[in-house]
């Protein structure tokens, strides 16, 4: 599999999936979305693999969506297709996220898509989309992942949440020193490899399927909101402001 925006390695029963656009702070463009989805599909279908470790190369885990294109010029259409979000792709093998520094926007979604989340002390979670006139796609899902008040803080105020706060409210499992991040992730992965893959994957399937019972309703709400907001003048002004490095002027 030829990849340029991620690294995908297999060692024994463990898959290593690493975001690899360090010069762009692992900002997610169309190619990265595609390559990540291909890696997850291979991970799902490879019977020898039992667990994956997701991480980011360079200064941070991910700066979120790549907004360097500026203001949109075409009508936005919501597709409801997220092949790089494993819980929508029947990936029932455990995923461990090893997070450092900034975990932003769509990068935050793929981090929280993981089952077990380890963070370094400098991690901060941030959804800056309202600053640029964007409604973040997983807004409807986040209140199922974290307390409503924390989801509101992230989604409505565009405030950062520190690693310690995220741990206190149950968004992440553990905080470790930066030098221990990958060693801790591998320790956990090896523990999973000691357990019955049939039992572990069966229990994750139960969790994912039960959590998705209201998926169609949430997806319909997301379609309505995304279509309205992403085709608004606010979205176009936000794109211009991002590229011009200025405060947006809302109508």
What does the pLDDT read at residue 233? 87
pLDDT band at 149 (very low <50, low <70, confident <90, very high): very high
What does the pLDDT read at residue 231? 87
What does the pLDDT read at residue 207? 85
Give pLDDT tens digits for 28-71: 999 999 999 999 999 999 999 999 999 999 999 999 988 887 87
Q: Which residues, including other chains, have CB under 8 Å from residue 250's CB and lie 6 or more apart?
A: 133, 234, 237
Q: Are 176 and 184 in contact (CB under 8 A)?
A: yes
> pTM for the full model?
0.86
Give pLDDT tens digits for 125-148: 999 998 888 888 888 889 888 999
Whether pLDDT at 209 is above 90 = no
What does the pLDDT read at residue 228? 84
Tokens of 205: 């399937």
pLDDT band at 185 (very low <50, low <70, confident <90, very high): very high
DSSP state letters, 64-102: -B--TT-S--S--------TTSGGGTT--S-EEEEE-SE
Q: Are 5 and 32 in contact (CB under 8 A)?
A: yes
Q: Kindly state the percentage of the chain with pLDDT values over 70.
A: 99
Helix (H, G, I), strand (E, B) or coil at 127: coil
Question: What are the chain's domains?
Answer: 6-179 (3.90.226.10)
When the pLDDT of each residue in the chain is averaged and rounded to a whole number, the result is 92
Q: Average pLDDT, stretch 113-129?
A: 96
Q: Identify which of 213, 201, 207 has the alpha carbon closest to the alpha carbon of residue 113.
A: 207
Whether pLDDT at 212 is above 80 = no
């Amino acid at each position: 599999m030829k990849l340029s925006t991620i690294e995908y390695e297999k060692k024994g029963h463990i898959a290593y999936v690493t975001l690899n656009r360090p010069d762009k702070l692992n900002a997610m463009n169309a190619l990265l979305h595609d390559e990540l989805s291909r890696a997850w599909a291979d991970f799902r279908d490879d019977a020898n693999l039992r667990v994956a470790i997701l991480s980011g190369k360079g200064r941070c885990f991910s700066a979120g969506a790549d907004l360097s294109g500026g203001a949109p010029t075409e009508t936005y259409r919501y597709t409801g297709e997220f092949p790089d979000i494993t819980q929508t792709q029947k990936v029932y093998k455990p995923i461990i996220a090893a997070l450092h520094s900034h975990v932003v926007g769509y990068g935050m979604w793929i981090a929280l898509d993981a089952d077990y989340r380890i963070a370094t002390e400098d991690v901060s979670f941030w959804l800056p989309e309202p600053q640029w006139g964007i409604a973040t796609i997983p807004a409807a899902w986040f209140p199922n992942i974290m307390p409503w008040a924390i989801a509101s803080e992230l989604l409505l105020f565009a405030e950062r949440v520190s690693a310690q706060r995220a741990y206190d409210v149950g968004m992440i499992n553990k905080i470790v020193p930066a030098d221990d991040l990958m060693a801790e992730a591998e320790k956990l992965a090896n523990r999973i490899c000691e357990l019955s893959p049939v039992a572990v994957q069966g229990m994750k399937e139960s969790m994912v399927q039960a959590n998705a019972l209201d998926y169609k309703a949430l997806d319909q709400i997301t379609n309505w909101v995304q279509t309205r907001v992403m085709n608004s003048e606010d979205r176009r002004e936000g794109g211009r402001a991002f590229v011009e490095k200025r405060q947006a002027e809302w109508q």
